[in-house]
Amino acid sequence: MASSAEGDEGTVVALAGVLQSGFQELSLNKLATSLGASEQALRLIISIFLGYPFALFYRHYLFYKETYLIHLFHTFTGLSIAYFNFGNQLYHSLLCIVLQFLILRLMGRTITAVLTTFCFQMAYLLAGYYYTATGNYDIKWTMPHCVLTLKLIGLAVDYFDGGKDQNSLSSEQQKYAIRGVPSLLEVAGFSYFYGAFLVGPQFSMNHYMKLVQGELIDIPGKIPNSIIPALKRLSLGLFYLVGYTLLSPHITEDYLLTEDYDNHPFWFRCMYMLIWGKFVLYKYVTCWLVTAARLIQESPTLSKLAAITVLQPFYYLVQQTIHWLFMGYSMTAFCLFTWDKWLKVYKSIYFLGHIFFLSLLFILPYIHKAMVPRKEKLKKME
């Protein structure tokens, strides 16, 4: 009888777990549908905003605590976010992190370790893109893995620089060079840190260690005054989110493939690509702003406006036009995915970006020669 009762109890517990999981899936799916978004997109947004309660917990309970506790916290929260978004596919990131740690330990501070890291991590990412590719933009494990790949390659380079003579390094290399030997827990905490695991931003291992050791503070011995800057950054991110939500139905990449787009004049096609390229980045800017944990120092632009000459605004306008036009040009292949689609768009503007940048390879040396005075001319002028 006891055995039978225990069996029934186990069945009830298992059934409750299945029902709870099904209820969660159903709730998220319904909520995503009501918002006009995919379930994966909703999971991503939830995961990004989870960084705020995690940060508050860290601020009040883990600040100035033992570093291994903080690494464990970052690893656990990062793995939880990965499982919430991608399920068992979190093994991709876990595998690459463990193998990266073994590369650093077994190969040491050698160029072989750097090359092995680059080849392996890039090959793994590209293979993931190849085997999971569809004709649409899908949120899958390859999205955070792109961020992780750059992070692990940077880790290998910084570890390699840490073995060089400090006088032979540039100021930037000295800042990021890793002198110690990171443990597996440190590498895992660095990789899964909830503030950057899904969408970035990128930062060095040294910067992460300063965060863990409580060195990124404005007043020594006290918790940093970062609440107001974080709220400002969050407000700006929400502003971009609202703007993107309102305008996204009207500025789409699908229009680039229509006959109406092809029938417009050449200047209109270029301008639409410019505006679309600037606009499509808003969803990425939203994620970066919401996840940003540091206040970007303002530059004294307003105090310098009086010193700008009449021609400088014109050059700035030309520079920005070229920048955003070809940003949209490069984003075309990134957003349309299949070669037949982006080839059609590139044909419509006569492969302008390819021609422009290939021409620069031959023109830039002459422009540099004409615009930058030689040392001999400067000496004569002196």
> What is the rounded distance in angstroms from the CA atom of residue 218 to the CA atom of residue 224?
6
For the cut 50, the answer to whether the pLDDT of residue 298 exceeds it is: no
Do 233 and 295 touch, CB atoms closer than 8 A? Answer: yes
Q: Where are the beta strands (DSSP E) in 134-212?
A: none
> What is the C-alpha to C-alpha distance for residues 266 and 363, in angstroms, rounded to an integer?
24
pLDDT at residue 329 is higher than 80: yes
Helices 111-132, 91-107: axis angle to 10 degrees equals: 160
Q: pTM for this structure?
A: 0.76
Residue 161 confidence (pLDDT) above 90: yes
- In the prediction, which pLDDT does 188 show? 96
pLDDT (mean) for 15-34: 63
Highest mean pLDDT, choosing among 218-232, 294-308, 322-336, 359-373 = 322-336
Q: Three-state secondary structure along 176-240?
A: HCCCCCCCHHHHHHHHHCCCCCCCCCCCCHHHHHHHHCCCCCCCCCCCCCCHHHHHHHHHHHHHH
Instruction: State the Cα–Cα distance between residues 273 and 323, nearest whole angstrom.
Output: 12
Q: Which residues touch 10 (CB under 8 Å, ≥6 apart)?
A: none
pLDDT at 189: 95
Contact 335, 329 (CB under 8 A): no
| pLDDT at position 222 | 77
Q: Which pLDDT value is given to residue 60?
A: 85
Nearest alpha carbon to residue 187 among 324, 72, 47, 316? 72
**What is the reported pLDDT for 375?**
52
- Predicted pLDDT at 80: 95
Predicted local confidence at residue 304, as pLDDT: 38
Neighbour count for residue 262 (Cβ, 10 Å): 13
pLDDT at residue number 272: 92
92 closest CA partner among 116, 127, 67, 118:
127
What whole-number distance in Å separates Cα of residue 277 and Cα of residue 328?
4
Look at residue 64 in the predicted model and tell me its pLDDT: 86
Degrees, nearest 5: CA angle 272-278-283: 125
